[in-house]
Structure 1
């Protein structure tokens, strides 16, 4: 589409623009405040739909949506005007002093918290609904914007005006006073360059000086461990004894019932607390976390955790609180009480956290062994970054130890390696640690991020920007973006990939109806290096910059695949204020070496042709039957945005 631009970057106004204004619709977003709309990852560049309206009054009968209405007001008479806005829920009216988008100011608004509203035509409920008088000239066009957010129940929005005279009444602004900002009738969904960026539409970003309220989004050393250079392998040669790995959780039988593999996956325990437990949820939502403890279930709530001691006082009278009761409590650690079953059932529990007393003997054994070798004796342990553990009863444990060290020259280095212990390796109360020769991770392995799509242009753009962000933050060149596309009509994906700031990409156009399994396999087939990692991916995902590092650490050639757990955000939740639940049942996001994927047989696109759902569990069955372990962890800041199935490939 060709759009002629003025010198200031705005589309050139044309007489045929008269009679209507632009309207962008953002669906599937909860909350009633305009600021909540501004937190939407799609706002303002990727509306669900674009249309035009001929008067500044809207009622769709919908819920959980937001609007951005913009264009020009063309007065027919010069004079002082007063504007008024009414809506359910919140709304804002912005007006420029001329036709420039740079000169807009907030003139009137209804509400800020999201629970304020007015009935249609009620312009005097709040003082903020009416503007101060403003002089307008009939010889001038004035750029304006309306931002509106609807949550639930009745929706409506009206912008009215009147001359600043005692005998004038407010009237809704109609077509003869309106004109478009730009003609978007032939624009593709992802053409964001024609969308004006103004003070009114600027995405709401958190104050950089403010501290997040949610523990999970606060910086954790594990989030940035990839920035620390690793200690050269030569420094650890002969420091720890070598050993062969032993399987922790593998399936022993030679056959398996369909979709039974999920029952044979075990979660990894971590230390220190990574705050993946969703403690910011309301009490009712997270109570299931406590219900997995016998004392809570059998004792009737939290009373068993308190011990009431007699104090010899008289029985208190009715309506006088028992303030003098002596109460005693003991420390409790619900994190480490959680079993695999409990984590599956309570989708707000997060990772199983190890006791400090169970981790410290391993750390001490690690430090003692370093001091025995001349190459490592001067290394100083600065911080225990991360410890992960899986145990096989009666056999031993596997640890991933990540230690921030300082060498004798004062340089910071990272040791990130797998260690094994056996039940027989106990010396002076400390476990013996050995480095497995066949269970190691490759920090330089190529990661191929694979996505298959059709007609989800705005989310494809978001995905590409997420990949750009990962590259910008990490500088990691060892990853490749692969997108297979079933002839999308709303985006030129190959063009967008070519223009993206990512280290490498591959693209393949596919014919026929959308088939998720077939599309993923087509992407897998583009990877020729069997010693590279495949990351089977999905849309609507926010990726932490550490995701590539995570995938490499937990995808072990010939031994293990990685199934990171994503957090599903509820409607209206954001990256900075995440609420929702962990998707413990999904295995569609998977890290696996190409050679291992070939071994298990690839994607099953015979049984899963055009429909999808269940293909991830079926793939997991074959992974389990081929004796590959499944590393399963809740990943901080790994988020799946809420969305409806409107426009999706399997929607009606």
Structure 2
């Protein structure tokens, strides 16, 4: 049949055209040394940084923190049983199918699973799983294969697959060369957004056991705040009052970037566990002590050691142990810590320097008891000191030189010069202590702490939050005749104003008479009201100020306001696709269609952004194409200009963000038109970490992620596109200046489950690649 012959010839021509190379996908900027680390990369396996080809199965990019996926077809040169071997730094896997189909893939050999295993180049017998059992292959067929490789930031990076021919009884491994491999697909004409051709196999999606972190982040625990956006309402309960906080600085002249000094943190109740306790082994800045102090004394100053019934002085002939309990022997302000119990041990055979140092330490205390102890030490060891003087280090050096000059010294004499005995420290196992409850949160200020990026939200004490809730519930039931019962306090956010009165955001879960649950989210104002001075005994007596709970007129959030996420992009296909997928998931989980994704595209060449938006399931989106170099301020302003509703919220966003499911309603709650903008603090993930681990640090310096009503943004002049054209960094601080001068306040809190993915700046925006020097 001529048609069958023609089709066969086409297939053979395609195989010959593809032969000599294999597909290579590169995943950069991802830490870790195990293949499991690579598989948790959010871009793996469909969205690599680059897609290219390799001509043999031996690759060494001479780079760090990357992962490779090599796939294609293997063409055996003969029939028989082949043994495969794998070598790499760090971990790697070699998968082979029983035929040409990726569906029949099986793991054949591997180097390590934990990220700590590695081999030298060409070392194929270090681990038992590096070499395979004999595999029977036919030269008339092709076999689909995959190589997965992960490299960390150390060592000589390499991965190579070798094979032993059937004729060799004792395995002599040779690298698989170009004549024995072919492409799975030619990707040279495809965009980075084209992913339908990429095989998704057992190798790419296999889930191996990942290493568990020693202490998981408490922030990852379930919290009712995370689902508060479902079914909310407001109730008019309190009397109206004027909202005019004392910290508003409208029209106040500011120097550039000075507005940051007027942004204060809000307090949160109950504990939302945004403090990164799991990171404190690397950074303990939450505690007020300096690292030097912590290294020397630890937390001893928080403890008061219990005094023994009597001071023990033991002298067994080898030494003396004196336990001196403080603080009664140390004056206030002394350098030594008041809670430390010092123990001084004077060994029997020690040097003059040891004795001298002991005396210096003891003389820190000027108490007569300590001086008495010092005299005891000197009296008891007076003779021993004389002996030590005779055996000084200079004498020993002199004796050593004499031994070198004479090789016939008596060995028995040398045996007399035995080293001094070593004494172990005696441990007081039954030492007890006293401690007071430690509340370091109560000592924190609402000033932004730029020196500590793990501290998390300021915590509001229950004695502050619960009376406000009770007063509100009393007013609510008085008006609605006992219709509602408080089920739980979900969230309370307090903005402190010691002059006029503090503002509270109450988020409560209530139950009505029918047993139906409802969520109530409402701003209340604890107004400080001063009574008139009254006469008492022919003088004026100022009455004690009272807190009046009221409804701040005009200060209300709108539960159905549209939120516009504006993201400027250029040639970041994998991140754009990740953003679209995340927003689709956000819409699926929240069911909220009152949001809009606006992408301003600086003529990306690696994907068709508009087409990707059209193919998505997003309820609303807008796209604008820009030309020239990437400019963040101009890109954001171009997105703002697309919005026609001045009474909607603009959220100035970044491309590499992972949003919590409640982000839309969270932005709505903390943006109040004419009064307040919202600058949540994002958690920057460390290299190789995902939102499921929350390993990173809070970005306390950045204000680039900002929510504000469009009418307010227009009123302060929009984005500064004049001073921040070809650069970015600082445009967010400058915007804060104008927000504060415009009479608005900025709500600043650490936001749960709000992450910034790790990425380097290689190949981003306006950066260009330089030629390799290697």
Corresponding residue number in structure 2 for 1:356:
462
Corresponding residue number in structure 1 for 2:159:
157
Aligned partner (choices 638, 642, 645) of residue 758 of structure 2: 642
Corresponding residue number in structure 2 for 1:308:
305
1:505-538 deviation per Cα after TM superposition (whole angstroms, max 9, x unaligned): 1111112222211111111000000000001111
DSSP-derived class of the 1:419 partner: strand
Query: For residues 391 and 168 of structure 1, do their structure 2 counterparts lie closer, same or farther at Cα, with a shift above 3 Å needed?
Result: closer
Query: For residues 205 and 378 of structure 1, do their structure 2 counterparts lie closer, same or farther at Cα, with a shift above 3 Å needed?
Result: farther
Offset, 1:545: 1.2
Corresponding residue number in structure 1 for 2:520:
415
The within-5 A match list for 1:242-321 is 242-247=240-245, 249-251=247-249, 254-285=252-283, 287-291=284-288, 301-312=298-309, 314=312, 319-321=425-427
Contact 1:361 1:431 in 2 (8 A): no
DSSP-derived class of the 1:290 partner: coil
Corresponding residue number in structure 1 for 2:202:
199
Higher mean C-alpha displacement, 629-638 vs 128-137: 128-137
Structure 1 Cα separation of the partners of residues 474 and 544 of structure 2? 12
Query: For residues 409 and 321 of structure 1, do their structure 2 counterparts lie closer, same or farther at Cα, with a shift above 3 Å needed?
Result: same
Structure 1 Cα separation of the partners of residues 640 and 156 of structure 2? 48
Offset, 1:203: 6.9
Corresponding residue number in structure 1 for 2:667:
551
Corresponding residue number in structure 2 for 1:21:
22
Corresponding residue number in structure 1 for 2:480:
374
RMSD: 2.6
Structure 2 Cα separation of the partners of residues 184 and 573 of structure 1? 29
Corresponding residue number in structure 2 for 1:3:
none
Corresponding residue number in structure 2 for 1:519:
635
What TM-score comes out, normalization by structure 2 length? 0.78
Contact 1:37 1:66 in 2 (8 A): yes
Task: Indicate yes or no: 2:390 matched with 1:387.
Answer: no
Higher mean C-alpha displacement, 357-366 vs 484-493: 357-366
Structure 1 Cα separation of the partners of residues 246 and 205 of structure 2? 51
DSSP-derived class of the 1:433 partner: strand
Number of residue-to-residue matches in the alignment: 634
Structure 1 Cα separation of the partners of residues 545 and 637 of structure 2? 50
Corresponding residue number in structure 2 for 1:47:
48
Corresponding residue number in structure 1 for 2:170:
167
DSSP-derived class of the 2:229 partner: helix
Task: Indicate yes or no: 2:576 matched with 1:451.
Answer: no
The within-5 A match list for 1:410-559 is 410-424=515-529, 431-559=547-675
DSSP-derived class of the 1:638 partner: strand
Query: For residues 429 and 263 of structure 1, do their structure 2 counterparts lie closer, same or farther at Cα, with a shift above 3 Å needed?
Result: closer
Query: For residues 219 and 247 of structure 1, do their structure 2 counterparts lie closer, same or farther at Cα, with a shift above 3 Å needed?
Result: same
Structure 2 Cα separation of the partners of residues 628 and 51 of structure 1? 51
Structure 1 Cα separation of the partners of residues 14 and 461 of structure 2? 67
1:470-517 deviation per Cα after TM superposition (whole angstroms, max 9, x unaligned): 101111010011111111101111111111111111111112222211
Structure 2 Cα separation of the partners of residues 595 and 179 of structure 1? 59
Corresponding residue number in structure 2 for 1:562:
678
Structure 1 Cα separation of the partners of residues 647 and 585 of structure 2? 25
Query: For residues 13 and 247 of structure 1, do their structure 2 counterparts lie closer, same or farther at Cα, with a shift above 3 Å needed?
Result: farther
Offset, 1:358: 2.1
Task: Indicate yes or no: 2:261 matched with 1:226.
Answer: no
Query: For residues 212 and 242 of structure 1, do their structure 2 counterparts lie closer, same or farther at Cα, with a shift above 3 Å needed?
Result: farther
Contact 1:361 1:430 in 2 (8 A): no
The within-5 A match list for 1:111-190 is 111-152=112-153, 153-163=155-165, 165-190=168-193
Structure 1 Cα separation of the partners of residues 750 and 303 of structure 2? 31
Contact 1:56 1:174 in 2 (8 A): yes
Offset, 1:147: 0.6
Structure 1 Cα separation of the partners of residues 266 and 115 of structure 2? 41
Corresponding residue number in structure 1 for 2:358:
none
DSSP-derived class of the 1:50 partner: strand
Flag structure 1 segments of 5+ consecutive residues without an equivalent.
Answer: 1-5
Higher mean C-alpha displacement, 438-447 vs 416-425: 416-425
Larger radius of gyration: 2
Query: For residues 297 and 130 of structure 1, do their structure 2 counterparts lie closer, same or farther at Cα, with a shift above 3 Å needed?
Result: closer
